[in-house]
Amino acid sequence: MVEETTDKNKVWDVVMIGAGPASLAAAVYTTREDIETVLFEKGAIGGLAAVTDWVDNYPGFPKGISGLDLSANLQAQAERFGAKIELGEVSKIEDKGDYKLLQTTEGEYKAKAILIATGSDYKKIGVPGEAEFYARGVHYCATCDGAFYRDKKLVVVGGGNSAAQESLFLTKFATHIDLLVRSTFKASDILQKEVKQNPKITIHIGTTTDEIVGKDGKVTKVIGTDTASGKKVEFPTDGVFVFVGLSPNTEFLAGSSIELDNIGLIKTSMNDLQTNMPGVFVAGDVHSGATMQIASAVGEGATAALHIREYLEGKPHPIQN
């Protein structure tokens, strides 16, 4: 934890918003060069990587590695070089010329440079019952909550890689899974093959999720529509896991001058990951054009750190949109 939070005049070299793979990797680079670095994280250290069951495509781990272990390793490495991690939330960034002022749940922070690496969060489907039964039968993280459904029936909503991967993971616990795919099954061929071959999973193509129904505080069924016939269909279930994509964590930038793209991701220059606010850099899934892969987030974090060093040395690259 940061010890200097009461020092109102302290100006950090860099404040990183978010403590996922991108910022943890960046912190390894900045702290090794004696750039004083503090990271703010409002949720889990490691971000979505920390709640990913298994990572098979991260270079250097031929047998794969759990998301939790990968995140813990990144954290330990960053902290070994002196990175400080503060559990808190940033609500506003202001450009004060010589420094940036951040409004946080731990008070005001000043920084010469900022790295925004807030990543993304799970999208909601916005149907009746979703909010009412959140964490009481409706979930967005199979690794976190799957074990609660041992020997139970489940519904999984989604048709991409995440829905397929998490459905396969949930078969460790559930007796049966109904996978509701609204339009087309978009998961990779290898994942589709695994899902189709798993006897515990039934795929329902062209099935919407219209309502999540419960009784006495527990989910009992999902009501949907078969789009081919137009008829209502029901799926008795003990729980619902929703995997329909991600939305960027950029709400705190509302009203700021930092430019976002049409879906809320942060725009940067082509050559140095710097935003239109000088001294504010971006890396990872929240970056416009991001590939949404842990390996590329780590790479962007390292790249951003090198450009932050140049900025602090007074040699920033010009902004090129």
Strands 207-215 vs 201-205: parallel, antiparallel or unpaired: unpaired
Given the residues 13, 53, 145, 272, the one annotated as active site: 145
- In the annotation, is 7 catalytic? no
Task: Give Cβ neighbours of residue 75 (< 8 Å, ≥ 6 apart).
Answer: 19, 24, 45, 46, 85
Please pick, among 141, 238, 272, 285, the residue that the annotation labels catalytic.
Answer: 141
Give CA–CA dist 192/211, Å, rounded.
26
Contacts of 67 (CB under 8 A, 6+ apart): 46, 48, 49, 50, 51, 52, 53, 54, 55, 143
CA distance 220 to 239: 8
Identify residue 158 by its one-letter amino acid code.
G
Q: Are strands 100-104 and 107-116 parallel, antiparallel or unpaired?
A: antiparallel
Catalytic residue from among 69, 95, 121, 144: 144
User: Which DSSP symbol is given to 124?
Assistant: P
Q: Is 141 a catalytic residue?
A: yes
Phi, psi (rounded to 5 degrees) for 86 = -110, 125
- Catalytic, 13? Answer no
Q: Which residues are catalytic?
A: 141, 144-145
